[in-house]
């Protein structure tokens, strides 16, 4: 079984854009977004993926994740089966030491939200935070993409 271990942070400014070595456009929808399990369809540039995630463990730090690339046409058709609320974002990849931070700049109803994630090999792995990293939001369900679909950032009282 594949286990995803990641930490999630708010981003302070857009300086990460000048440090990114890659960026891609992502649209994703959820066939199922029940608490404890999600089935997601993602279109990333010209490729499609189907992902199944299990419940969050250890305060949101880890969970089981299975992802497979699927034909783009299948992904586009599966998007029609998704629950309402499509996530639209640009993902920027920023190298920091041995780690790569995935910085998601959201669009549409989640515009204004920018979140960075770093995947780890084990839960107590040390890593250096880049200068653009702010408050940690690991385990805060509001920042899960499946939750942003149902309760977009534009509806939050800040």
| Span 103-133, pLDDT tens digits | 999 999 999 999 999 999 998 999 999 999 9
pLDDT (mean) for 146-152:
93
pLDDT digits over 6-58, tens only? Answer: 999 999 999 999 999 999 999 999 999 888 889 999 999 999 999 998 887 77
For strand 99-106 and strand 38-44, is the pairing parallel, antiparallel, or unpaired?
Answer: unpaired
- Check whether 158 has a pLDDT greater than 90: no
Q: Which residue in 30, 49, 144, 153 is the catalytic one?
A: 30
- Distance CA(104)–CA(89), nearest Å, equals 6
pLDDT tens profile 60-97: 677 888 999 999 999 999 999 999 999 999 999 999 99
Query: How far, in Å, CA of 152 to CA of 97, rounded?
Result: 33
Catalytic residue list contains 64: no
Which residue in the block uniquely carries the two structure tokens 């690339």? Answer: 69
The whole-angstrom separation of Cα 99 and Cα 149 is 28
Residues linked to residue 44 through DSSP beta bridges, in sequence order? 26, 47
Alpha carbon distance 124, 114 (integer Å): 25
């Amino acid at each position: 079984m594949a286990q995803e271990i990641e930490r999630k942070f708010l981003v302070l400014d857009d300086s990460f854009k000048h440090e990114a070595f890659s960026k891609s456009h992502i649209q994703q929808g959820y066939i199922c977004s029940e608490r404890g399990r999600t089935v997601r369809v993602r279109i990333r540039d010209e490729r499609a993926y189907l992902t199944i995630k299990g419940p969050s463990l250890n305060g949101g730090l880890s969970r089981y994740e299975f992802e497979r690339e699927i034909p783009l046409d299948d992904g586009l058709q599966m998007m029609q089966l998704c629950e309402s609320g499509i996530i639209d974002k640009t993902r920027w990849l920023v190298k920091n030491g041995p780690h790569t931070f995935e910085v998601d700049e959201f669009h549409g109803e989640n515009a204004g939200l920018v979140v960075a994630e770093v995947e780890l090999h084990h839960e107590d792995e040390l890593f250096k935070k880049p200068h653009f990293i702010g408050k940690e939001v690991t385990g805060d369900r509001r920042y899960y993409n499946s939750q942003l679909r149902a309760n977009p950032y534009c509806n939050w009282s800040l």
